[in-house]
Amino acid sequence: MTTSQPPVAKKVPTERTHHGHTFVDPYEWLREKDNPEVVSHLEAENAYTAEVTKDQEQLRQDIFNEIKARTVETDLSVPARKRGWWYYTRTEEGKQYGIQCRTAAQDTGDVQADWTPPAVEPGVPVPGEQILLDGNAQAEGKPFFSLGGMAVTEDGNLFAWAEDNAGDERFTLRIKDLRTGELLPDVIENVFYGLAFSPDGSRVFYIVVDDSWRPHQVKAHVLGTDPADDVVIHQEDDVAMWTGFELSADRRQLVIGIGNSEYSEYRVMDFEDPAPQLRTLIPRSARILYEAEPLTLAGQRQYLLTHNRGALNSMVSLVAEEEFAKPLEEQLWNTVVPHRDDVRVNGAAVTATHVLVSVRKDTTERVQVLPVQGLGTEAQGDPVEPAFDEELYTASLSNAEYESPVIRLSYTSYLTPPRVYDYVLETGDLQLRRETPVRGGYDPADYVAERDWATAADGTRIPLSVLRRAEVARDGGNPALVYAYGSYEISMDPAFNIARLSLLDRGVVYVIAHVRGGGEMGRAWYDDGKKLNKKNTFTDFVAATDHVASSGWADPARIAAMGGSAGGLLMGAVANLAPEKYRAIVAQVPFVDALTTILDPELPLSALEWEEWGNPITDPEVYRYMAEYTPYENVREVAYPRIAAVTSFNDTRVLYVEPAKWVAALREKGTGSEPIVLKTEMDGGHGGASGRYEAWKDRAWDYAFILAALHARDLLPGTAPLVPAENRGTGS
Q: Annotated active-site positions, please?
A: 565, 651, 686
Half-sphere exposure of 45 (CA within 13 A, CB side): 31
- CA dist 490 and 520 (Å) reads 8
C-alpha–C-alpha distance, residues 427 and 430, integer Å: 9
Q: Which residues pair with 102 in a beta bridge?
A: 87, 130
What is the 8-class DSSP label of residue 126?
A: P
Given a contact cutoff of 8 angstroms between Cβ atoms, the answer to whether 576 and 641 are in contact is no
* Cβ neighbour number for residue 299 with a 10 Å cutoff: 5
CA–CA gap between residue 534 and residue 531 (Å, rounded) = 5
* Other beta carbons less than 10 A from residue 435's beta carbon: 15
Angle between helices 566-577 and 535-550 (to 10 degrees): 70
Q: Which of 159, 155, 219 is nearest to 191 (CA)?
A: 219
Residues recorded for the chain: 732
If phi over 0 gives left and psi between -120 and 50 gives alpha, with beta otherwise, what is residue 502?
alpha
DSSP state, residue 604: T
What is the per-residue DSSP string for 279-319?
EESS-GGG---EEEEEEEETTEEEEEEEE-TT-TT-EEEEE
Task: Provide the CB-side half-sphere exposure for 721 (13 A, CA).
Answer: 16
- Cα–Cα distance between 656 and 646 in angstroms, integer? 9
